[in-house]
Copies of this chain bind each other. A is one copy, B any other.
Amino acid sequence: MFYCHGNAHDGERIDTLRRVFAEEIPELPIVTDHDGFDPEAVRYLFSFVPPEDYGRFPGLEVLFSVSAGVDQFAALPAGVPLVRMVSPTNARRVSQYVAMAALALTRELPRYLSDQQARRWHPVSPVLTETRTVGVMGLGTTGLASAEVLAGLGFRVAGWSRNPRRIDGVTCLHGPEGLDRLLAISDIVVCLLPLTDETRGLMDDGFFARMKPGAGLIHAGRGAHCDYPALARALESGHLSGAFADVQPVEPPGPDDAVWAIPGLVVTPHVAGRLDPEEAARNIVLNIRRHARGEPLMWQVDRARGY
The answer for the CA separation of A112 and B269 in the assembled complex, in Å, is 8
CA distance A125 to B272 in the complex (A): 9
Instruction: Give bound CA distance, A89 to B149, whole Å.
Output: 21
Binds B, one of A18-26, A133-141, A229-237, A248-256: A248-256
Q: How many copies does the complex hold?
A: 2
A274 within 8 A of B: yes
Q: Is A92 an interface residue (CB 8 A)?
A: yes
Contact between B153 and A107 (Cβ–Cβ < 8 Å)? Answer: no
Complex contact B119–A153 (CB within 8 A): no
- Chain B residues lying within 8 Å of A271, measured Cβ to Cβ, are 107-108, 112, 123-126
Task: Verify if A129 is at the interface (C-beta below 8 Å from B).
Answer: yes
- The 8 A CB mask of A125-157 against B (1 = contact, 0 = none) is 110110000000000000000000100111000
Q: Which of A95-103, A164-172, A200-208, A209-217 contacts B (4 or more CB under 8 A)?
A: A95-103
**Among the listed stretches A39-47, A56-64, A260-268, A285-293, which one makes contact with chain B, having 4 or more residues with CB under 8 Å of it?**
A260-268
Given contacts A152-B152, A251-B121, contact A96 B128 (CB under 8 A): yes
Query: Which residue numbers of A lie inside 8 Å of B, CB to CB?
Result: 89, 92-93, 96-97, 99-100, 103-104, 106-109, 112-113, 115-117, 119, 121-126, 128-129, 149, 152-154, 251-253, 255, 257, 260, 266-274
